[in-house]
Structures are given as C-alpha cells and as structure tokens.
Amino acid sequence: MDCNKKYRRIVIKIGSNVLTREDGRPDTTRISALVDQIAGLYRAGVEVILVSSGAVASGRSVLEPRVGRIDTVSARQLFSAVGQVKLLNRYYDLFNEYGIVCGQVLTTKESLSTRRQYLNQRNCMEAMLAAGVVPIVNENDTISVTELMFTDNDELSGLVAAMMDAEALVILSNIDGIYDGSPADPASQVIRRVAPGRDLSQYIDTARSSRGRGGMTTKSRISSRVAGEGIEVVIANGRRDGILTDLVLTGRDVVCTRFEAAPRPASGVKKWIASSEGFAKGALHLDAGAAAAISQSKAASILAVGVTAVEGEFERDDIVRILSPEGAPLGVGRISCDSATARRNLGRKGLKPLIHCDYLYLE
Ligand SMILES: Nc1ncnc2c1ncn2[C@@H]1O[C@H](COP(=O)(O)OP(=O)(O)O)[C@@H](O)[C@H]1O
Ligand SMILES: N[C@@H](CCC(=O)OP(=O)(O)O)C(=O)O
C-alpha cells in the first residue's frame, strides 16, 4: 500500500483458506498472528473493520463427524451457526489479550438493499468504531440462502469498504495476488499494479477453490469496482508472516496485487448506489438522446421522455439498472417512482426525473 500515507480507516477481509488448515481444522496460529498485527495497526491509530469468513469451515470441523446425510443448505446453516460462535470466541479472546474489544456484525444482502437499512448498518459500525470496538463482519449464513446470498465475503467486504468510507480494502487469501496465468505454472507472475479500469478476467481460472465461494473471479471484479469508487484495494497472502504490518505500517515491498484507487471518490449516496447493482429490481431502456445526455453531462438526470421501456417490478427508491438503446449496461440509479408509474409516464415530457443525477451512478 502507499507507504507514505497514514491510513485512517481500512477494511481487512480474511478468507476461509487463510483461517483453515489443509485438513479443514481452524489454523489457530494464523488467526492469532493476524490478530497480533491488527492490534499493532489499532495501536498505531488505524481504525480496522474486519470481514472474516471461516464460520462454515469452523463449524464443519466440529460437526461433520457427527451429522449424517444432510442437504447442502441445511449443512451450511448448521455449520455456520456453530462455527460463527467458535470463531468469534477465538477472536474475542485474542483481542482481549491486547485490551481490545471486538464485536460481531452479522448481515445479509437484504440488510443493505434499502437506503434506510444501509444507514442503520453503517450507524452500528460507526458507533462501534467510536467506542474503540473492532467490528468483525460476516454474512449471516444461517438465514442467507441461495438467491439471498452475497456472491461471497469479497463482495460483502467491498460493500462495507464503500459504506464505511474506508481508504483501503485488504483482501487476504491463500495466494500472493492475481497471477498472469495459472498460479500452478512456475512461469506465471503476480500482477503487481492494476490501473483503474483494467480488466484482468483473461488471467483468472474460473474453477473455484474447495473452501472459498466466489474464488479469484469475484475478488478481481469487486476489487476493480471498489478501486473505481476511490478506495485502494490490495489482494495479498494472509499466510505470509507480518503481511498486514508490512502492507499498512512499514510499507515494505511485499508481493501483492494492488488496484490503484481512481481519483474520483463518489459521494456517500452514489457509493451506495454504485455498489448496489446486485440489488437492482428492474431496468430502464434509454433512447439514444438520453444515453448521450447522461454520458456527456454529470448534471443530466433521466427523464421519462428519454425512456423507451421499463423492465421488472419495483417500488419508489429501489435500485434499477440503466441500459443503452442496444441493451448494454450504462449504470445504476435510484428510481423516484414505482414501476407502474414509470410505465405510465414513458415518453412523456415535463415530469420530474425518473432518476435524478444525484442518484445516478454510471459505469
Ligand atoms: N490468476 C489467478 N491468480 C491467483 N489465483 C487464482 C487465479 N485464478 C484462480 N485462482 C484461485 O483463486 C483462489 C483464491 O480464491 P478463494 O478460494 O475464493 O480464496 P478465499 O477463501 O481466500 O476467499 C486461489 O487459491 C487460486 O487457486
Ligand atoms: N460466510 C462464510 C464465508 C463465505 C465466503 O465468502 O468464504 P471466502 O470465499 O473464503 O471468503 C463463512 O463464514 O464461512
């Protein structure tokens, strides 16, 4: 990370692969080493929000030997219910050795999907940070099933970083960064810097790893998006000794993939909208004139007169996708009316904007 910069607030995401040994048991030495380093950052005045995976793996190590045949959804619910307690107890004890209090934040995709719930979540974590408490965030796997789930905790950590206005997001995995070929090929090298907007999808092997959920594909996609919102993102190896201290405090040149932050940080509400594509309830198809207007001016709103079709059912203040006349995604925005009203007003002039420019985020 930028070693000349003192970070005020960062989000650190730790993947299941970092916290779990090859045989599936929790790697207590590693968890302890990471907490030691986070305590060092805390002492140096950096506010840390931890997004920790590992509940399912932790519960599986306790329960797998004793449960019989069970479907995958129930297994995830059961393992996470037990594993989350075990994981948080361990964090609590380890932080306590440094006199640091940590607290649990369990969330769901649904809990971030409306602006009001989003602000409630943010307020909770702001209150924790103000009281010197380290928030430890995870998805509530006991109730998040199938389509209600985040892609994985990489997606969640990106949302948390934007929501909490963090300056940097550190994603710790079991690998040094994103390689420019198969990580198994000795000729492959870690891509060290990624300029805003650069697409790395060609390098990623889409096969997922055994314990994680979204794999490197989501890490890369989320990192680009978060960096585009003005937040530096680093993917690094959580199993390397001293990784967090090196990245955040000493600035030692450690192998990692760093996504440079785009210079244009979005406003708070725009950050929420930008990260909300996954919650979109519908879509607006623009005509050529409207598409040109919003691409040319930041002050242009989307008016009913420039919309040719409305897709899906939505309520006022929901997030909708904006599509070009050819159907290409242009961005997302918060709609000012429900879908029935939007359809009724299609093509009409002189009405208030369907999406005001302050609530419009273009890719
Ligand atoms: N180009 C690539 N560079 C690095 N890792 C890759 C690449 N393509 C696929 N991967 C895989 O992605 C894995 C990391 O993702 P994941 O399993 O989701 O980790 P975590 O549990 O830490 O979130 C690596 O272990 C690696 O096998
Ligand atoms: N919420 C799950 C983590 C799911 C997940 O995204 O895992 P990973 O890809 O290892 O970060 C758990 O605590 O087990």
Looking at the predicted structure, is the pLDDT value of residue 4 above 60? no
pLDDT value of position 25: 86
CA dist 318 and 320 (Å) reads 6
Which strands form 193-194's sheet, in the order they lie side by side?
A: 102-107, 134-139, 47-52, 9-14, 168-173, 232-237, 257-259, 193-194
Mutual orientation of helices 215-228 and 153-163 as an angle, nearest 10°? 10
Q: Mean pLDDT, to the nearest integer, of 270-277?
A: 72
Ligand nearest to the CA of 175: 1
Q: Which of 159-173, 203-217, 225-239 has the lowest mean pLDDT?
A: 203-217
Mutation to probe ligand 1, out of 209, 235, 239 (largest number of atoms < 8 A from CB): 209
Nearby residues of 183 by Cβ (< 8 Å), 6 or more positions away: 175, 205
Q: Are 35 and 94 in contact (CB under 8 A)?
A: yes
Q: Are 223 and 173 in contact (CB under 8 A)?
A: no
212 Cα–ligand 2 center, Å = 6
Going by pLDDT thresholds of 50, 70 and 90, the confidence category of residue 199 is: confident
Looking at the predicted structure, is the pLDDT value of residue 3 above 60? no
Other beta carbons less than 10 A from residue 9's beta carbon: 15
Q: Is the CB of 170 under 6 A from ligand 1?
A: no
Going by pLDDT thresholds of 50, 70 and 90, the confidence category of residue 210 is: very low
Task: Report pTM.
Answer: 0.83
Mutation to probe ligand 2, out of 18, 20, 56, 78 (largest number of atoms < 8 A from CB): 56
Ligand nearest to the CA of 185: 1
Q: Is the CB of 204 under 6 A from ligand 1?
A: yes
360 Cα–ligand 1 center, Å = 33
